[in-house]
Chains A and B, each alone.
Chain A
Amino acid sequence: DVKVTQSSRYLVKRTGEKVFLECVQDMDHENMFWYRQDPGLGLRLIYFSYDVKMKEKGDIPEGYSVSREKKERFSLILESASTNQTSMYLCASSGARARDYQETQYFGPGTRLLVL
């Protein structure tokens, strides 16, 4: 079974703090994604990566950065957390081949982040 794990289920941070969210997948997938999920809205893509050290902006990259130093690990970084970044963050991975986006995306359990 595909397993995508996220470092924390719940996080509480203060405005201005630097926040790291980590995601690890064990299926040797090339593609990894970070989304945020807010009530009444569909999932929105923040960043994705189709290979180690490669990253591309999604629909809402402002205020976020990412790092992919190893194939299995994709980190989302909030350089200076703000209250409007309070949300559920979901990591996903897909595809045995880079940029094979037709493959089903497998999601982690999510990290619920509260920024005070």
Chain B
Amino acid sequence: KNQVEQSPQSLIILERKNCTLQCNYTVSPFSNLRWYKQDTGRGPVSLTIMTFSENTKSNGRYTATLDADTKQSSLHITASQLSDSASYICVVSEGDYKLSFGAGTTVTVRA
């Protein structure tokens, strides 16, 4: 069973609207959590990274939150643009080489 579950699987939003993606994990021990953006036909690119002691991290219009107690993270996209259309992947690290990847949320932004 995947230790990182993301929801929704996909969503469609209108340009300039906001959206929030969810990530729940059971990975333990926990070292850090990353959100990656993967454009179609490309490899994933890191957006944010948070360690156990951090509960929010921003990168432009992307804001990630982390609740290490409930093992939940979210990625909020503000004022979406067409270029935000991509798959967003939650990745949890146990501290060694082992990364646990979520299946991703596919976001489609429409004009």
Contact = CB atoms under 8 A, between A and B. Distances in A.
Interface of A: 4, 9, 31, 33, 40-45, 48, 50, 56, 90-92, 99, 101-102, 104-110
Nearest 10 pairs of A and B residues by beta carbon: A107-B43, A42-B101, A43-B101, A101-B97, A104-B46, A107-B44, A108-B43, A42-B103, A109-B43, A109-B42
Nearest to A92: B43
Given A101-B93, A101-B95, 20 more contacts: A4-B43, A31-B97, A40-B103, A42-B100, A42-B101, A42-B104, A43-B101, A44-B101, A45-B98, A45-B99, A48-B97, A56-B97, A99-B96, A99-B97, A101-B96, A102-B32, A102-B95, A104-B46, A107-B44, A110-B41
Interface in B42-66: 42-46, 49
A101 B49 CA distance: 13
Contacts of B98: 45
Contact of B102 (A42, A90, A104, A109): A42
B34 interface: yes
Contacts of A43: 44, 89, 99, 101
